[in-house]
Amino acid sequence: MEKFIYAPEIAKLGHVALVTKDLEKSLWFFKEVIGLEETCEVNGTHYLRAWGDFEHHTLSITAGETSYIDHIGWKAKRREDVANFARLLEDAGTEVRWIEAGEEAGQGKALRFELPSGHRFEIYFDMEKPAAAEDRKSVLKNQVYKSWAKGVSPRRIDHVNLQTSIDNNLIVNYLKETLGFKLREYLVNSDDKQVVGWMSVTNLVHDMAMMTKPSVEANQMHHIAFWMDNAQDILRAADILCENEVGFVGPGKHGISQAMYVYVKDPGSGLRVEIFTNSYLIFEPDWEPIKWSYEEYLKYGSTYWGDRRRDDVSRDQPVKA
């Protein structure tokens, strides 16, 4: 394997590319109810971002015969890291496909590859940061759009939660050893076998989670999460969802991550969306992953307090990734 002066690194979660079987409903949900802003539409793909997202898009939506996640984009820390990741991945036996600049609107050259689970990731560095139109522009120079202009109005994309039927340790170790993710918290089942890992490349508790369930396909998405500034924003979101007659679960608080949440589903694609706030940050370089037993998970981990109902929003009907 070629030696690098420094190991390539991922800086943050960039975007999620959603294909939906009902484009009209998905656009209504994400633009009017969630309140994302549309950057542009190119060849049938709509590129959206939250009012505090600087890059060209953090969510893209395209019409399809079925609903699925086409790929999940991650921004590299340095431009040269993209090519370095390509070499590292190929040396690890992972097939890499190059995406030319402009193939995805606003984005420079990138690479795509699949995890052992089949989830498709993309790593890029160059991405346009377009300004908002004058009628949508914030007066704050450190913010793109006017806040609270419409809908739930999250500040930014936060994390993704993936599902697989593949052994959890295999996928988590691949993410750690190949892509540099750090394991922050994890869950074991009644046989003391790891079934969920919460991982990050930033100071967040998780930029992504990987959940193993034998009953699902190898590559599915459990949810995408958007960040709210505080707990009051979660309560406001619940009111807005009620006003739009969109069912949801919550508000509640997780023990794992210590975050407050509301879960809601896009009526166009079926993709579960988490409206998310609070949580805690990790600054310790020698952080030891926190282990949760299944009994602890049921008592405190999933719902520390709040709504414990299990309806169509919380029932496991993930979107294929």
Closest Cα partner for 157 from 57, 296, 257?
57
pTM: 0.91
CB half-sphere exposure, 39, CA atoms < 13 A = 27
Q: What is the pLDDT of residue 273?
A: 97
Give dist(CA 167, CA 164) in Å, integer: 8
Phi, psi for residue 84 in degrees, rounded to 5: -65, -40
Q: In the predicted model, what is the mean pLDDT of residues 73-90?
A: 95
Of the pLDDT bands very low, low, confident and very high (cuts 50, 70, 90), residue 309 is low
Q: What is the pLDDT of residues 21-71, one digit of tens each?
A: 999 999 999 999 999 999 999 999 999 999 999 999 999 999 999 999 999
User: How is 65-119 classified by DSSP, letter by letter?
Assistant: SS-EEEEEEEEESSHHHHHHHHHHHHHTT---EEE-TTSSTTB-SEEEEE-TT--
Q: What is the pLDDT of residues 61-78, one digit of tens each?
A: 999 999 999 999 999 999
Fold exhibited by the domain 156-320: 2,3-Dihydroxybiphenyl 1,2-Dioxygenase; domain 1 (3.10.180)
Pair type for strands 259-265 and 305-306: unpaired
Of all residues in the chain, the percent with pLDDT exceeding 70 is 94
Q: What is the pLDDT of residue 215?
A: 81
Looking at domain 10-124, its CATH class is: alpha beta
Q: In the predicted model, what is the mean pLDDT of residues 217-235?
A: 92
> 156-320: same fold as 10-124?
yes
> Which own/partner pairs from 211-215 qualify as long-range (CB within 8 Å, at least 24 positions apart)?
211/161, 211/162, 211/163, 211/164, 211/168, 212/163, 212/164, 212/165, 212/166, 212/167, 212/168, 212/171, 213/163, 213/164, 213/165, 213/316, 214/165, 215/165, 215/316
Q: What is the pLDDT of residues 117-169, one digit of tens each?
A: 999 999 999 999 999 999 999 999 999 999 999 999 999 999 999 999 999 99
pLDDT at 189 over 70: yes
Pair type for strands 305-306 and 248-253: antiparallel
Of the pLDDT bands very low, low, confident and very high (cuts 50, 70, 90), residue 20 is very high
Q: In the predicted model, what is the mean pLDDT of residues 267-286?
A: 95
Tokens of 122: 């993309």
Q: Where are the domains of the chain?
A: 10-124, 156-320
Helix (H) or strand (E) holding 294: helix 294-296
Question: Taking all residues of the chain, what is their mean pLDDT, rounded to a whole number?
Answer: 92
Q: In the predicted model, what is the mean pLDDT of residues 176-182?
A: 94
Pair type for strands 182-188 and 248-253: unpaired
